[in-house]
Amino acid sequence: MTDEADLEAIQANRCPDCGNHGFIGGPRGGAGQNIYCANPQCRAAFMVAPRGRVMLVQRVGKAQECYYPPQVHILKHGAALCGFMGYRWIDEGPPPELEAVFPSEWPVGHSWIGHNEPLAASTCPQCRKKAAS
């Protein structure tokens, strides 16, 4: 169930937990998208729907470290093993609308290596764990 205070804060592009302005885009599918507080000390995670005019909000824990720079991800078939995609702001909102971008357009602080390169070159714990398995 949507908490009205959370909904109002997110519609104002503000984290309900820490008050920081801005979110990092996470995975999306159907009408929903995960968004994460841009403050790496907070990392509050929410699923919002629909992606345009947010009307529903659900808390989904904390964002993984791989969404916060600096990170060197491991790419396989053009995608990071951890699921990081990088996003571009389409509209500042509120709430912001985001679209996934190619690795060459990832935000500053995110880079990659190939899956056949030494695992020690990656700083992303999720990528390293998946590559080792």
Please give the pLDDT value at position 106: 85
State the residue range of the domain holding 36. 4-63
pLDDT digits (tens, 9 = 90+) for 116-127: 898 889 999 999
Residues 99 and 115 in one domain: yes
Give residue 93's pLDDT band: very low, low, confident or very high (50, 70, 90): low
Residues 51 and 83 in one domain: no
pTM score of the predicted model: 0.73
Residues 53 and 101 in one domain: no
Percent pLDDT > 70 in the chain is 92
Per the structure, the count of domains in the chain is: 2
Q: Of 28, 43, 63, which marks where a domain is finished?
A: 63
Residues 44 and 73 in one domain: no
Q: Of 63, 79, 99, which marks where a domain is finished?
A: 63
Residues 74 and 98 in one domain: yes
Which alpha helices (DSSP H) does 4-44 contain, by range? Answer: 4-11
Residues 42 and 75 in one domain: no
Please give the pLDDT value at position 94: 61
Q: Of 63, 89, 107, which marks where a domain is finished?
A: 63
Helix (H, G, I), strand (E, B) or coil at 106: coil
Distance CA 5, CA 104 (A): 37
44, 16 Cβ separation under 8 angstroms: yes
pLDDT digits (tens, 9 = 90+) for 28-68: 777 788 999 999 999 999 999 876 677 889 999 999 988 99
Please give the pLDDT value at position 52: 61
Distance CA 75, CA 77 (A): 7
Residues 59 and 76 in one domain: no
